[in-house]
Structure 1
């Protein structure tokens, strides 16, 4: 199955059933992503070389201001969209089958997990995967060791405090934190 068709169907359907052609095609892309991630993480590279390898993983040309500190892993890679002047710190893990969008000037802290898959609650259908995108709007800051769950949009300029688990959308210009993440304050209250 061609990648474009795979992405179109995954994004439209939002469900992957086990033992189907769609599931096998996703696995084939995942195998390549894991191989490319392993290659990325097993040597020392210049910033330009890292950008080139991330461009290969995501099949997207990244701007010269993109910065990534290794290690980094993704288990699909082809459903990540990266804006301009994005920084991803070391230890991040992206599960992007449902789609991950990083808006311009986003900052991603150490060890952030972005998970776009939930398994079915029915134990007899646990192999079924439900996909939902994660969207970070422009100028978001995701603190270290945070987890962003499927279907979450983080509004522009917002901050997710370190160690948070984000289970629902974050309003623009706010700070959230905790497990589950809750409103802490408006951003304007912190800007002096």
Structure 2
């Protein structure tokens, strides 16, 4: 399978609307993914108490230093890094994954349980189109949200202030402020 058959979304305005865009940017995206994978591999091998080493690698991964009072427990995974916006007092537990090419914002005081996954990009459902381009939309998590262990947040989701996402939940739709969501989302929608 040839890498140049995949084309990414790049235009932030179209991403915000969840639209697809074909473009020649795949090679640059692919290079960034490889660079960040190497950086996260190094990060995840550091001794837990090597704060200076972790700070240096996080600055390279994110393209800027971590905000003060942000806590991230490795292992930590991301595919881009520069699309991840972290506010003060964010806590990210072990084994979380952030596929952030389309952008992920975590508001102040957000707490994330182990092995939570945030995915901003995907492929079309149509099997002919599936290998031709990517689709995506940003994820926005408001202040003081708690996301439980193993939760999965899908492209384009907005989670309102003070909401709680139960462990293992698959979140495909927006979550209102001050609400609790739980449970799997998977159901057969259509067949071909």
- Normalized against structure 1, the TM-score is what? 0.83
> Structure 1 regions of 5+ residues with no counterpart?
1-7, 182-192
Higher relative contact order (CA 8 A, sep 6+): 2
In structure 2, which of residues 41, 44, 48 is the aligned counterpart of residue 41 of structure 1? 44
Structure with more of its chain in helix, by fraction: 1
Quote how far apart the aligned CAs of 1:16 are: 5.2
> 2:176 is matched with which residue?
171
Q: What RMSD over aligned residues (CA atoms) do the two structures have, in Å?
A: 1.8
Moved beyond 4 Å, runs of 4+: none
2:46/2:53 contact within 8 Å kept: no
- Normalized against structure 2, the TM-score is what? 0.83
How many Å separate the matches in 2 of 1:137 and 1:82?
11
After TM superposition, list the pairs within 5 Å mapping 1:22-171 onto structure 2: 22-44=25-47, 45-127=49-131, 128-171=133-176
Quote how far apart the aligned CAs of 1:82 are: 0.6
Number of matched pairs: 172
Moved more, 170-179 or 43-52: 43-52
Quote how far apart the aligned CAs of 1:77 are: 1.1
> Structure 2 regions of 5+ residues with no counterpart?
1-8, 187-192
How many Å separate the matches in 1 of 2:65 and 2:36?
16
> 1:5 is matched with which residue?
none
Q: Could you give the per-residue CA deviations for residues 76-118 of structure 1, whole angstroms, max 9, x where no partner exists?
A: 1111111111110001011111111111111010000001112
How many Å separate the matches in 2 of 1:66 and 1:85?
5
Structure with more of its chain in strand, by fraction: 1
